[in-house]
Each structure stands twice: as C-alpha cells, then as structure tokens.
Amino acid sequence: MTFTLAIVGRPNVGKSTLFNRLVGKKLALVDDQPGVTRDLREGAGRLGDLRFVVIDSAGLEMAEDDSLQGRMRRLTERAVDEADICLFVVDARAGVTAADEYFADILRRRAKHVILAANKAEGRAGEDGAMEAFGLGLGDPLRVSAEHGEGMDDLYRALVPLAEVVEAERPAPIAAETDVELSEEDAESGEGAEDWRPSAARPLQLAVIGRPNAGKSTLINKIIGEDRLLTGPEAGITRDSISVTTQFMDTPMRIFDTAGMRKRAKVIDKVEKLSVADGLRAVRFAEVVVVLLDVAIPFEQQDLRIADFAETEGRAVVVAANKWDLEDDKPHKLNELRASFEKLLPQLKGAPLVTVSAKTGKGLDRLHNAILKAHEVWNRRVSTAKLNRWLEAMTESHPPPAPGGRRIRLRYMTQVKTRPPAFVVKATHTDKIPDSYQRYLINGLRQDFDMPGTPIRLFLRDQGTVNPYRHKADKINQSGALSKHKNRQKPKGS
C-alpha cells in the first residue's frame, strides 16, 4: 500500500525536520531561521511497514498576492489538493496562533484527510500548546518531537486506517503491456544488454546548475509541463536541490533543480552555504549536468568554475545558453558563444552547446538530443583490440619523446571503466611522459572514437622491461629442471 503524505504548517514549526525523520535521511535543509524551505521536496517515507511518498512544503504564509510568499503559499496549497493525507504541524511550545487557525480552516475545506501533530512537545514545555491544538477542530493532536523521534508510533497508528481508506478509494490500475523478449539472435549479439540506457526503472539522472537567476527552475517547469518549482524575478529563490521524475520527450529522467551558485567570497549566509553544498551533492548523483548560462552575460568566471567542477566530478556536460528569445542578432551571438566556449573551456572540447528559451520552450528538442548524446558518449566502451591498433598508429604518427636517450614504449592499452570512460596504458618510463603527450592521446581518443566533450581519464602504468609472459617461461623451466633431476635419481638400467 502506498499513499502521498504532505507535511504543511506555518514557518519554523519543524516540517523539514519531520520530513528528514520520515525519509531516514537529511535531505531537506534545516535551520533555526523561518522560511528555509521554499519548494516542494518529495522523498520515500517509511514508518513501520508503511511505505509512502512524503512531501515537505514551504511554510504557509498569510499572503495572497504575487509576492514570493504568495507564490510559495499557492505551491503549498497545490500540494494539499494533490496529497492523499495532510499532516498539519503546529508548534506546541509557541501554542496555537491566529495563522494556525486560519490554515486549519483552509485544510478543512481542501484536504482529503488531515492528521494534526503538535511538534516540539517533548517535556512539560509543550503540554499547554498541545492542549490548545484541540480547539482547531481537526481531531486529537498527536504529541510528537521530530528532532528526538518521539510520537512516531502514535503517527503510525493514525496513518494505518487512513492509508486503508486511500487504498480503497484509489481506482484499479490499468494492466501494463508485457515486456518484449529478445530474440536469440539479439541475445547472442549482445543487443539489448546495454542496461545504462534510460528506462522507467532507471531514469537518466540530470542536474541543472548555474548562477542565480539563470532560469533553472523555469526551464525544468517547461520540461515537465507544469509549474512544479517556485520561480520569479528574484535571484536565489531555490534553496533545496529538488528532484522531479518526468518524461522528457519520451525519455525517463530524474531532474535535479539546484540553488544558484555565487562566488564563494559572496556566500556569507548559512542557508546559502547549505544550499550550494546541496547543489554540489546533486551534481555527484547526476549522470549528465546541464550548465545553464544567461545569454546576456555568458561565461563569467563563476560559470567557468561551475562547468569545471562538473568535468572534475566526471559528469557528462551540456552547456545551454538560456533567454535566447531576448537576443536580436542570433547568428553573430551564436558564433561568439562557440568561440568563447572553445577558448575558455578547452577541457570540455566538443561538448554540446545549445541555445534555449526556458520561457517559451524553444530549443528544448535540441537540449533533449544533446543530453542523450552526452549520456551515450559517457557510457561508451571501446574494445581492447581497437584501442591497441589505434595506439600503434598514434605512436607511429607521433612517437613519444626520448628523454636522456631512453626510448619510451607504449606497449598495451585497455579501457577499465565507463561513466566516464577511463583507459590504462602500460608503458616504460611513465614518469618521463610529458602532459602534452597525454593530452595528444586524449584528444585522439575524442576524435577517433567519437567521444566529444565527455571527461576522459587516462592512467599510465609503468611496465618496465619485464616480459608479461615470463611467469609461463619460468614454469616451463622449472618443470624441465625437475624432470632432469628425477632422471638423475633413477638407477642405471631401469
């Protein structure tokens, strides 16, 4: 049985702490100051034998205009409408406020099922506030402590009957199509064995990163076709790294929206530091990273650092220039972007550069194709035979240097991993091979095996002059010597 549980309440009552308690991880940012959470964050909740989707929401504000607080409130109200059960949290230590009474009335009208929880109720300090919560008319309040884990058994007992009601009300699922079996010919040839390709079970992990106000949340909203993420003219709206699972032009994807990353010297606020750290963690979870630029001020120093970080982490990178609809001289600007890209980011040579408009949706098809291409290259594998033929041709065309008269021999090459592609070269005097020759090999791999833009790792292993088959020769020599010794031991005439 599964259901959706939305945690709602006014700011700073402990919703994110309770969310982290239910998912068993510190996913949501938590701080003492109110209003840290702004977007809707989903997670896999677990309580006893119950499995459900839990949603952390922004604090309900008494604002109905188009201000940031008003947009946050509308997003939370949307979560209330879509959730199967709402967990309304009040602060037992502060007592019931006028805002709590106002939002309790909204939940009575809009929510399907409501559970009332008085948080921070540990000890005697929260007794009076928990008693006051009876007056909200939402049933008996549960005394819980999200920080210390108290009251979770009471919450479980309250959820079980509601979960059964939700399950009974849910329409019967439509039977899914049966899986397509591989033919014997396809199975023998290895077709279909590429489990890295995106599927419903394993969607492509995509992170969108960039400076504040580049349009990351707007772009993701346009991709999923709904206003799922909070957007607006203010810079730095997004704080948590929010993940959304969707179908981007029939490709299953899990997209991470991240907080805007400013220069480290400008990041003073504690919450912003937590937001940036959360965004960097999302990059490490991702497979493909879209570095989103503002076309009016592209390739600033912070953009270069962000792109370089994604490459250093070994992620496939796609560079997207947003707000393309505002550009007048598009051909000239595109040539300028490409020239700057090649000059300022040589480590990402050949990576896709696309232009998009998050506001109008123009260029999303190009972005989709670039993401799939980058993901395919990131997972590419080259056979050892092809690599060694290629290595022989590369060394004949441009032999490695001979420092001090010692000739360097590149003897053997193989690919040891993908995601990103990594290669090992067995050679002599590896400490004498200059970085320029390693770049020559990496650029050759990019060009000859069609791996543009993806990070390539090249490792040199010193083989020396040792014969790799020497151990076999030693075994033969040892067996021959042993047989001769036995022959000497035999008496004459035997």
Residue set of the binding site for GTP: 9-16, 56-60, 119-122, 210-217, 257-261, 322-325
* C-alpha closest to that of 215 among 142, 291, 118, 279: 291
d(CA 380, CA 391): 18
Question: Which is nearest to 99 in space by CA: 72, 61, 145?
Answer: 61
Q: Which residues of 350-389 are buried (b: 16+ CB within 10 A; e: fewer)?
A: ebbbbbbbbbeeebbebbbebbbbbbbbbbbebeeeebee
CA distances from 427 to 291, 385, 424, 459, 467 (A): 37, 17, 10, 10, 12
Q: Which residues pair with 289 in a beta bridge?
A: 207, 317
Angstrom CA distances, 353 to 172, 241, 266, 293, 350, stand at 45, 24, 28, 10, 9
Q: Are 124 and 149 in contact (CB under 8 A)?
A: no
Q: Tell me the binding residues.
A: 9-16, 56-60, 119-122, 210-217, 257-261, 322-325
For the record, the structure tokens of 70 come out as: 């008003």
Cα–Cα distance, 478 to 219 (Å, whole number): 70
Positive or negative, the Cα torsion across 283, 285, 290, 292?
negative
